[in-house]
Amino acid sequence: GISKRLTEKDNLYLSKMKTFKNELSLRQFSVEDAKLRLEKYLDDAYLLGISPVYIIHGKGKGILRNEVRKLLDNISYIKSFRSGDVSEGGIGVTVVYLKK
């Protein structure tokens, strides 16, 4: 019945909470793979109520950083984002704040 379904959903939520990390490294992925991973990661972060999260895209030529930020601009539950400060990884990291 309904109670069993809720329990399965709760268990999934709890196991995600335990394993969820507040940072996602995209450095080794192609732009397309990185975007797919980022979308799924942000959905999970939003559902779990975790904010801020740290997206590690590396410094490089800035291509991945630009793609990450373009994606963030188009997601309704993103409150704001900024470059990491020096202690967080500088321009190699984007810090993302999600709406509650």
Ordered domains of the chain (ranges, CATH): 20-98 (3.30.1370.110)
**CA angle at residue 72 from 37 to 47, to 5 degrees?**
65
The C-alpha atoms of residue 30 and residue 45 are separated, in whole angstroms, by 22
Check pLDDT > 70 for residue 5.
no
The C-alpha atoms of residue 63 and residue 95 are separated, in whole angstroms, by 17
With 0.95 as the threshold, say if the pTM is over it.
Answer: no
The per-residue pLDDT for range 8-59, each reduced to its tens digit, is: 778 877 888 888 999 999 999 999 999 999 999 999 999 999 999 999 999 9
The C-alpha atoms of residue 15 and residue 10 are separated, in whole angstroms, by 9
The per-residue pLDDT for range 52-83, each reduced to its tens digit, is: 999 999 998 999 999 999 999 999 999 999 99
For range 2-7, the mean pLDDT: 66
DSSP string, 7-71: HHHHHHHHHHHHH--SEEE-TTS-HHHHHHHHHHHHHHHHHHT---EEEE--STTSHHHHHHHHH
Check pLDDT > 70 for residue 2.
no
The C-alpha atoms of residue 85 and residue 30 are separated, in whole angstroms, by 25
